[in-house]
Chains A and B, each alone.
Chain A
Amino acid sequence: MAANPFILQLVNSLAALLLLLSFAMLAQRRVVTLVNLLAVQGAILCAATLLLAWRTGESHLYVSAALTLGLKVIVLPWLLHRLIRRLGVYWDTDTLLNTSGTMLVGLLVVVFAFGLAQPISALASTATRSAIGIAVAVILLAFLTMITRRKAMSQVVGFLSMENGLFFGAMSATYGMPMIVELGVALDVLVAMLVLGVFFFQIREQFDSLDLEHLDSLEEET
């Protein structure tokens, strides 16, 4: 494993881009753009995985790069776009916090994430360990996206972005999980999206909208 500072720098810049995209997703109100951002995030993840695979010569990283490309850049965004068109949800303007407020909370979350990642980076022996903080930040920002959004579709995008963060964390700390686990996780994500597709149509059939405000009647006293 020859030290190649250039490639390492490249991976680190890709990591920074991932973080930037997370912030963009946090602010974005157009659902279609949100899905596109998710696809770009997937593409960056795929590029980072490829670079690492080339640098470390670990063949299973090529497989997971291919998985990322297939699933997160092509299949899932395509499925989501189709759903958006069929269901006609284009905007998610009604958030819990306004954009600047969300951004400020997001900044705090990033600081917290780097603190959280400290012991993990100290333990990891990979060259990319400095990126672990970014991975944790991506996970937490995606979580924040899910909390602040009302539309089911944006929550799902947040969920998938969280998955991206987890994947990036595993990659930068250990050069990826064992193959069998990665395949299983990918399968679960795919099935989850299919279930969701079915589910969205059921919600729409009932409520004529994908606004989660309708899903607010099961309170404690009922």
Chain B
Amino acid sequence: MRFKWILGAAAVCLAVALAGCGSSSSSTSSSGGGGGSATSSTSSASSSAAAGGGGGASVLGTPKAATGAPVVFGAINNETNAGADFPESRQAADAMVSYLNAYKGGLDGHPIKIVWCITDGTPATSGSCAKKLIADHPVAILGATDLADAVTIPAYKAAKLAYLGGMNFTPVENTASNAVIFNDTAQLGNVLGGLYAAQHLGGKKVAVLALGDTQGEFTAKTFWLPAIAAGGGQAKLYPAPPSQADLSSIVESAISSSPDVVGLESPSQCVALLTALKSAGWTKPVISIDTCSAPVTIKAAGGAAEGMYWFQPFQLSSTGTADAKLADAILAKYAPAKIAVDSPSLVELSTVMDIWRAFHTTPPSKLTTSDILKTLRGGSNHPNFLAEPYTCNGKAIPAYSAVCNAKYYLYQVKNGAPARIGSSTYDQGTNLIH
């Protein structure tokens, strides 16, 4: 009897939960929806998107709907990890797919479809997701934000599937023979941060505040510290324990060594560290990773983020470029109102558009893995949505053969909003990545 009661209740729960699955499952032209959209406080670029949407119709162009059998891509996205999830990647990719299917005729007239598998970022769940995607026989895997690439990329390789774009978290996808990473989204950005701190911000001594876990340690020791040293500065690492409630003692320890610059490399602690720095009276330069620059983070940090520098490979809304205006219009029309506009979402916009640009006239039957890789690796200076042109000749970052573009822009928080500094692009220090 009790078991029946449980089954009944569980069935209700299941039904209720699954009722919300539609928007987060496989999508063709959906606006993404699903997790994080309804009450998310990720205010992000809704204002900028709205601004873009004002003239959205003209920016979007003339509708040209895709029809027929879809061209299926698979993608894994990290959305159930309590420490770091990125629903905006899926939302942005779905928004771009919706736009391309409605206005650009999809791929050779066929709608693009992304089959998503949601993961918590653990190797077990992501590995299971990879098997599921492979079983769906996609033409290729769309890179998104999967923290367990070390497990999934070999599975795609074994299944002879190409892995295209997305956030490049680990060396595995950066060097995989079946991968094409249109834009480096983090690695060189960290190196540039270290170099810029030492060479341009007067950083003879730089304190690097990093998340006190394996990811923070890896990023700080692999990229930040060598770059600061190469720039002529002296660096010291201060790990911030994830379970410590108040990080003011870490910040005090860092600034008591009288550094000239503070580097922030802690995605989940940006707000706490910035406010602790302000509270401790820190007025010298702060340079961070780009995940600290998400609009919601800048807003949450209040004035504490003012003046903060970071490198990012994408043209943000404030740059006013044609790509940025189109991105704003697409997000305004197809994405959840409060989508977070940050690297994980921008990289998906860029990835999907780059794939479309490369294959929009290719019949689906010709989309084989070898042809996909050959096409993307051929030629040079291909247009790269929201970013500098890409060339997949393995030279953008010599140690990362799969990366095609490693040119970054420099931004700074001015008056509470991101502003691009100068018109230069930055790709120094690629030799520091091994």
Q: Say whether A and B bind each other.
A: no
Which residues of A does B touch, CB under 8 Å? none
Which residues of B does A touch, CB under 8 Å? none
